[in-house]
Amino acid sequence: MTVTPSATTTTPAPATTTTHPPAAPPRWTDLLATATEDSLAALEEAAGQDWSRLAHGLDWTCRQTLDHLALGLTGYAGLLIARPTDRYITLFASLDPQAPIPDCLDGLRIAATFAVSTIRDTPPEVRAWHPWGTSDATGFAAMAVTELALHTYDITGALGVPWAPPETTCAAVLARLFPDAPSGHSPSGTLLWCTGRAPLAGLPRREEWRWDGTVR
């Protein structure tokens, strides 16, 4: 008699699921570097316009607003270097008032690069005074990004160049500096509302505002 061996049943191996760790949030130095390039691209597009016009919604001309922006970025780096506990620093940086706008934009790039380098090299435990909240390197990076976003918006709005702050940038800034920001709206619209630049659905334009740079 011939015996037929029984068929061997092979149990399939359990399916493997590949899991990917959640993407890490972008570093603030990367956000600041990207915000700088976004702003410079928009401002370069407006370089041939009349920068003696008032910036949108401000009492400064577009050129004065650009100078304020360069001063602010340099100042934030200076605060992280000097680390005062109760005052602003005594170093003030300004753009050459006689220089053409493209050269002034080079100055803005220098100020922003100075800020990025300083923030990158500042230990996380460092604190420095700011009138809107003693802060850390992350906070000053968020302040620098906010300055770039808002004042690029102010200048391009006056000079007829369509531009809006990027949504990813605005979302990061809102989370760090505006903890009480309303939800349910686009990040860019919310940031413009938080900083008194535009109304928001159901909310009138703000008359006064400030961010909160304290460490959380």
pLDDT tens, N- to C-terminus, the chain (216 residues): 444 444 444 444 444 444 444 444 458 999 999 999 999 999 999 999 999 999 999 999 999 999 999 999 999 999 999 999 999 998 888 899 999 999 999 999 999 999 999 999 999 999 999 999 999 999 999 999 999 999 999 999 999 999 999 999 999 999 999 999 999 999 999 999 999 999 999 899 999 999 999 998
Across 162-174, b (16+ Cβ under 10 Å) vs e yields ebbbbeebbbbbb
Categorise residue 186: left if φ over 0, alpha if ψ from -120 to 50, beta otherwise: beta
CA distance 172 to 175: 5
| Residue range 43-71, pLDDT digits in tens | 999 999 999 999 999 999 999 999 999 99
Torsion angles phi and psi, residue 78, rounded to 5: -60, -40
* Contacts (Cβ under 8 Å, ≥6 apart) of 4: none
Domain parsing of the chain, residue ranges: 35-194
Q: Are 143 and 35 in contact (CB under 8 A)?
A: no
Q: What are phi and psi of 200, to 5 degrees?
A: -130, 150
- The pLDDT value recorded for residue 93 is 85
- As a CATH number, domain 35-194 is 1.20.120.450
Q: What is the mean pLDDT of the chain?
A: 90
Please name which of 152, 160, 168 lies closest in space to residue 68, comparing C-alpha atoms. 152
Q: Cα–Cα distance between 190 and 163 in angstroms, integer?
A: 16
Short-list 119, 150, 149, CA closest to 135: 119
